[in-house]
Amino acid sequence: MWCWGCDVCRAQGNLLLAYGAEKRPSPDARHHSAYAFQTDKDAVLNLWGWGIWLAHRRQGSLFISRSRFRVRYSPEVLQVPEAWQARDLPPMIGARDDKEAGYAADLLAAALKWIGDYERWLCSQVEVDYRERILKTWPQRKRHKGGIPAAEMPTRWLELSAKIAKEPLRS
């Protein structure tokens, strides 16, 4: 997720906007803008520097925090939250039954697919070594020894999405 901030600040233009995002500036200069993507007729994915919120009209909402990539579910559907910090989001009480656990798994698979699709699109838009150069400047890279080469990121995200979609996690 840290890489997307670099994509926003790219000297040649904001890549999230080029991918079709609707930018929502924060009313408070202390907070960064939000970016919303209509992923299909029933779902909207929102990005902030601190996480992802995917809301689906029939399935609820899923939050993935940037910090430790924590995943939380809410049965509440709020497609474009006016949130500028994670605490501004609706309460995330978790899945209350198998049906909601299935929704949460579906939303997680959809969010990871969006990430993979974005990273694949990005590869077609920028110079070959762009993402690798960005990753080399990531302050936490030393803490995450090894990792995935930038060229494999789209495929790995899409594989993870497909695995979750095929064998959804249940609580």
Q: How far apart, in whole angstroms, are the C-alpha atoms of residue 23 and residue 11? A: 17
Question: With 0-12 CB in 10 A as exposed, 13-18 as middle and 19+ as buried, what is 122?
Answer: buried
Q: Using a cut of 0.85, tell me whether the model's pTM lies above it.
A: yes
Q: Which pLDDT score, from 0 to 100, does residue 142 have?
A: 57
Return the amino acid letter for 47: L
Question: Where exactly are the structural domains of the chain?
Answer: 2-166
Closest CA to 93 of 76, 73, 69, 77: 73
Q: What is the pLDDT along the chain (171 residues), one digit of tens a residue?
A: 889 999 999 999 999 999 999 999 999 988 889 999 999 999 999 999 999 999 999 999 999 998 888 899 999 999 999 999 999 999 898 899 999 999 999 999 999 999 999 999 999 999 989 999 998 887 665 555 667 788 899 999 999 999 999 875 544
Residue 151: C-alpha distances to residues 8, 95, 146 (Å): 20, 35, 14
Q: Which pLDDT score, from 0 to 100, does residue 138 have?
A: 79
DSSP annotation of 128 reads T
Residue 62 CB neighbour total at 10 angstroms: 25
Q: How far apart, in whole angstroms, are the C-alpha atoms of residue 126 and residue 124? A: 6
Cα 69 off chain centre by? 10
Residue 129 CB neighbour total at 10 angstroms: 11
Q: Which pLDDT score, from 0 to 100, does residue 137 have?
A: 83
